Amino acid sequence: MSASAWPDALQPSDSARVSHLLADFWRELSLLPDLLGRGEQLLCARCTSRLRDTVLELMLALNGIAFPSATLHLNTYLGPSQRAAIEKTLIAPNADGDAWIGQAVALVVIYRERSGADAEAGLRWIEEMGTRNRYVLDVWAGG
């Protein structure tokens, strides 16, 4: 589809916004272990939704565009592999800790692949969360 045929007036991605999104991703993810530990299922859903929104906006930035705020045609701005990856994070079979962790892990994987972050950063985050909240280590390590 040519740029003149896009259904929205597109703007280029902004590097300051991308930097903000990268930081927001980890801040939002850090909230999940406490919410899980307290059984806050509705807030877990909200948290994973925000993570998904962040990853989606980062995907668009990688495609060179800012999120078109009033769009009704988002699929047209994502490649097939991007859509497939983000769509895998949409449905949780149960509203329990494992489902939220599964969604969060999938979003971390997508984030890492799209942002170039290394696996070590993810491991450091898990260790840091573990020192603050034992639930992370127990659930993620299968203990």
Domain map (residue ranges) of the chain: 13-140
Conformation bin of residue 40: beta by default, left when phi > 0, alpha when psi is -120 to 50: beta
Confidence of residue 143 (pLDDT cuts 50, 70, 90): very low
Higher pLDDT, 100 or 77: 77
Q: What is the DSSP letter of 78?
A: S
Assess whether pLDDT exceeds 50 at residue 112: yes
CATH of domain 13-140: 1.20.120.330
Q: What is the pTM of this model?
A: 0.67
| pLDDT tens per residue, range 18-33 | 889 988 999 999 998 8
Is the Cβ–Cβ distance between 66 and 11 less than 8 Å? yes
Q: What does the pLDDT average to over 83-87?
A: 85
pLDDT at 45 over 50: yes
